[in-house]
Structure 1
Amino acid sequence: MRVFVTGASGWIGSATVDELIAAGHHVVGLARSATSAAALEAKGVEVRRGDLDDLDGIRAGAADAEAVIHLANKHDFNNPAVSASAERAAVQTIGEALAGSGRPFLVASGLVLGVQGRPATEEDESPFHGPDSARGGSENLALSFLDRGVHPVALRFAPTVHGTGDHGFVAELVRVARRTGVAGYIDDGANRWPAVHRSDTARLIRLGLEKAPAGARLHAVAEEGVPARVIAEAIGRAVGVPAASIAADDAPAHFGWIGRFFGIDARASSAGTQELLGWRPEGPTLIEDLDAGAYAHA
């Protein structure tokens, strides 16, 4: 299958590209820099130069593909409106390019759904609608193209997609611990984050492309919820600093932008995804990765 992948050189995208190529798919990757393009070409990827603001290029890449996997995001946490606007525009553009074709359109989404008292499941709809909501309401926008002859699938990634080389949330927490001399958790640290290894995420995306029905919501989750205090204690061991509670009122000053997220309780299940796709997480746990030195680079 000819698959157009945005974010093809990113943390999740690069592993997904490897998984797709190993399965025999022809990958066309969006690359915004010469360095990214060279890395993709070395893997045998057909490169299309551009970025999320190049909507004409994204439209052409989608129209020329048999399937689209949209993983790119600006991730501007200091100005989330910029990220949300770009994300919504890209999803709208891809959806329109695929309208009436029946072709798969897999779109990255998140698992912070505001579900209280239980793990979020694949049956829970995203509460985010419209351009002013988180990620520009891109999941619901993508799924709306089901009524326009597209085969949309939502890829809901755990907040922590971990592994050696990760520069995401956990890496930022490690950097904060190094800078402040404290591996912090908010209040009692009982809130929980789902986690999944990068290799398991890439395999799920490939299976979702090949097997997921239109309109499916897939959960890339291996651990339903790792307590924030346990994460902080593992970071403390890795960095060589003590773990300590940070009052919620002090979290923004201590953690910076990630303080808005680290106190959220966001348990999530992948039972439905595992049953649907026959997917089983096989990679190391988050704490195993931290204890093994996977975040020494951060």
Structure 2
Amino acid sequence: MSLNGYHGSEEDILLSIEDRIAWITFNRPETLNAFGPAQFHRLADLLDGVSVNPDVGVVVLTGNGRAFSAGGDVREFTKKGLVDTGVYALRAMTSIRSCRKPVIAMVNGIAVGGGNELVIAADLAIAARSARLGQAGTMIGACPVLGGTNVLPLQIGEKRAKQIVFFSEKVSAQQAFEWGWVNEVVDDVDLKSTTREWAQRLLALHPQALQIAKAGSNVWWNHSYDTMVNGLDMIAMGVPAESVDEGRDAFMEKRPADYSRWR
């Protein structure tokens, strides 16, 4: 798959449907399931497809390997790549919220940056005890405007969310649970069975009533949509391209970034 110069494969994100549960698995373990524009585009397409599939009643998002998702693929972090990733990520986040079926994030490992914003966008989230959640944008010249700055404060409180976003912090799954970031934390070996149990409970409910309940519960997400679009515009217009290069290079070279030229 080629998308405006960005390349991906159908194998990057897998779909399987079992007993009316659609399992969508991020399948780039060698990159900690990082996303570029092509991967976000495929995720949105898959979500839009299962939304209208009568054989699907619940959707589960998860990752292959030791990560749920490390967020944006830093290797594609040029200024253009950063903006393009944001545009396609917004489509994927919107597809989660507009999906007619409940979407559960099964957080099997680290969920950072855009990966964490997928958790934020999901209707429900169940995390493995070993998982960690957080943001990384301010370290590398990005900003989590697709959930981190606008929806996460509604879930865990403004001061906590600002601390996570400003300092690019990560917290344990247990801390995320206590703050209201995820619905349940379980031992790693119990993650899939617990998620399946939650999905089966949802499948037993009235489907149209559940769809209406989801649409109504999206009210604060819908109010936040304009801030997401504005945030992407601000990144496009306000972040110097060279500073993005410095953030990317520092990350790849495992050294502190030097942003003194842009103060």
Instruction: Give the shorter-chain TM-score range.
Output: 0.3 to 0.5
Tell which structure's C-alpha radius of gyration is larger: 1
Q: TM-score, normalised by structure 1?
A: 0.29
Q: TM-score, normalised by structure 2?
A: 0.32
Structure number with higher helix proportion: 2
